[in-house]
Amino acid sequence: MMGNNGQTLEELDRDITNDPQNAKAWAGRGETYRLMKRYQEALEDFNRAIELKPDYAWALAHRGETSFLMDAFEGAIEDFNRAIELQPNYIWALAHRGVTYERIEHYEEALVDLDRAIALQPDYAWAIAYRCRTYEMLRRYEEALVEFDRAIALDKSIIKENWLAERGLFLSFVGRYAEAMEHYQQALEKDPEDGLILYWIATLKARWKGLDEALPEIERAKSVLQAKLAASGSEASAIIYELGGLAATQGRKDEALAYLEESIVGDYFSRRRACHDFAWLDLHQEPRFQKVTNICSNGQESFYNVEQVGQRQASH
């Protein structure tokens, strides 16, 4: 594994042995450990680099990213703040602070940082992709779709999953159901057993065409997801979430919420997904759903306007 300057771990070890006051070598080894997912060791090396050079903006920012990866978000923001104070146009630090704000659901602060990073580097696909997600979380779906298209025009690999299917999801959010379904069907050609795409097809068709017409798609998605769950072992939170969504689509409220509660234990993102996902729309006013998600609660507006969804169904 190479460090940020192309050095191997062994070379960085040697540099530190030869010159223990070499802050750059400590930071470089910290970054190498971070890329190896050896986060505690990375943190210790960044700490040493910053002790030697307190105004080392690069080390501060990368220690902040290490803290982020360890779910220590307050510490991450403190380090990003300091790095940006030292270098106000530090694009990488701005973008990564923005993503940290997005992760802790401080969406307006996230947009400020992401906007600034993108203004400084308009082709920064990674930051654009996270601005897309931030708009999604704010229910600004039209803007999210624009940012999604901008990101994949720069780099299709920036979307880890099948980008056609992901774009279909945003099309569904803005009520362009027929286009969304076309995207899903095209994406499914690459892997007919893709449980997530089958789930999106089933839940979209139920919302668009009605439950009866969607039953074959629901049963197919359920069969694939159950098989994947049986084979998945411990990494199953997303599958459990999707089985819950199918149950919610069919009106099996208690079963659905039990799945949702289980999935949230293993994956924080399930909580956020549920407040945008068509499958859970009819449960948004349920006290148990509101308690589990802690988003659509306390009388706040549902993430979908039920009347608007009905109008979109009628026009597509």
pLDDT 10s digits, 186-221:
999 999 999 999 999 999 999 999 999 999 999 999
Tell me which residue has tokens 């659509």.
296
pLDDT tier at 233 (50, 70, 90 boundaries)?
low
pLDDT tier at 305 (50, 70, 90 boundaries)?
very low
pLDDT in tens, 243-269: 999 999 999 999 999 999 999 987 888
Judge whether 83 and 60 are in contact, CB under 8 Å: yes
pLDDT in tens, 262-302: 999 878 889 999 989 999 999 999 999 999 888 543 333 33
Judge whether 96 and 68 are in contact, CB under 8 Å: yes
Q: Give the Cα separation of 5 and 36 in Å (integer).
A: 15
Burial code of 138-175, b = ≥16 C-beta within 10 A, e = fewer? ebbbeebbbbbebbbeeeeebbeebbbbbbbbbbbbeb
Q: What is the dihedral of CA 56, 57, 60, 64, to 10 degrees?
A: -170
Q: Give the Cα separation of 223 and 219 in Å (integer).
A: 6
Q: At what angle do helices 23-35 and 57-69 cross, to 10 degrees?
A: 30
> Structure tokens of 282?
């009819």
pLDDT in tens, 79-108: 999 999 999 999 999 999 999 999 999 999
Q: Give the Cα separation of 25 and 12 in Å (integer).
A: 6
Give me the DSSP letters along the chain.
Answer: -B-TTS-BHHHHHHHHHH-TT-HHHHHHHHHHHHHTT-HHHHHHHHHHHHHH-TT-HHHHHHHHHHHHHTT-HHHHHHHHHHHHHH-TT-HHHHHHHHHHHHHTT-HHHHHHHHHHHHHH-TT-HHHHHHHHHHHHHTT-HHHHHHHHHHHHHH-GGGSSS-HHHHHHHHHHHTT-HHHHHHHHHHHHTT-TT-HHHHHHHHHHHHHHH-HHHHHHHHHHHHHHHHHHHHHHTT--HHHHHHHHHHHHHTT-HHHHHHHHHHHHHH-THHHHHHTT-GGGGGGTT-HHHHHHHSSS-TTPPPSS-HHHHHHHHHH-
Dihedral sign computed on CA atoms, order 106, 107, 110, 112:
negative
Backbone phi and psi for residue 2, each to the nearest 5 degrees, phi listed first: -95, 150
On the question of pLDDT at 312 being above 90, the answer is: no
Domain formed by 165-316, architecture: Alpha Horseshoe (1.25)
